[in-house]
Amino acid sequence: MNRTIFFDMDGTIADLYGVQNWLEYLINRNEYPYKNAKPLINLSSLAKILNKLQKRGYRIGVISWLAKNSNNEYDAKVTTAKIKWLNKHLASVKFDEINIVNYGTPKEKFNNNNDILFDDEERNRNNWTGTAFDVNNIIEILKAL
């Protein structure tokens, strides 16, 4: 099938913006919010569905931005925090592709025209050339595939 289902992290599956003082942490180049963001959806249900979809031939991936106005050292810390978050919260999912990229990188660069994106940012969904969904009803949409 070679169709990939991509997930944004912050604001889509991880509640980065729900961490108290998240912006202050980011401005001070502290990765605390990335490490401690709570899940935005039931990740146990998500993992079960993703594993079933992989068995049917779908690939599973992540495209997530690093912090705005960052530096190499902070980028490395944020990348590590995001990967650890995925390993902790979606441990049973074997991601085919994880892209932790500079803030503002066009996510459509990773799209093969028939891929699916779940993202909270409208601009990313509008620029996606495959099928793009917001954060509402992720589980229900995946069940319908």
Give the per-residue pLDDT at 130: 83
How does pLDDT run across 3-29, given as a tens digit for each residue? 999 999 999 999 999 999 999 999 999
The number of distinct structural domains making up the chain is 1
Residue 2 has pLDDT above 90, yes or no: no
- Domain containing 46 equals 4-143
Least confident residue range of 39-48, 78-87, 107-116: 107-116
pTM across the whole model: 0.95
CATH number where 29 lies: 3.40.50.1000
pLDDT for 112: 84
Q: Which of 102, 70, 97 is nearest to 86 (CA)?
A: 97
Whether residue 101 has pLDDT greater than 80: yes
Residue 84 in this model has a pLDDT that exceeds 90: yes
Query: How far apart (Å, rounded) are the C-alpha atoms in residues 17 and 19?
Result: 5
Q: Is the pLDDT of residue 1 over 70?
A: no
Task: Tell me the mean pLDDT in the region 101-118.
Answer: 94
Give the residue ranges of DSSP H helices in 18-137.
Answer: 22-27, 32-36, 43-55, 72-89, 122-127
Describe the strand order of the beta sheet including 4-7 as a list of residue ranges: 97-101, 59-65, 4-7, 116-118, 131-133
Residue 69's pLDDT band (cuts 50, 70, 90):
confident
Q: Which of 41, 18, 1 is CA-nearest to residue 136?
A: 41
CB 127 within 8 Å of CB 15:
no
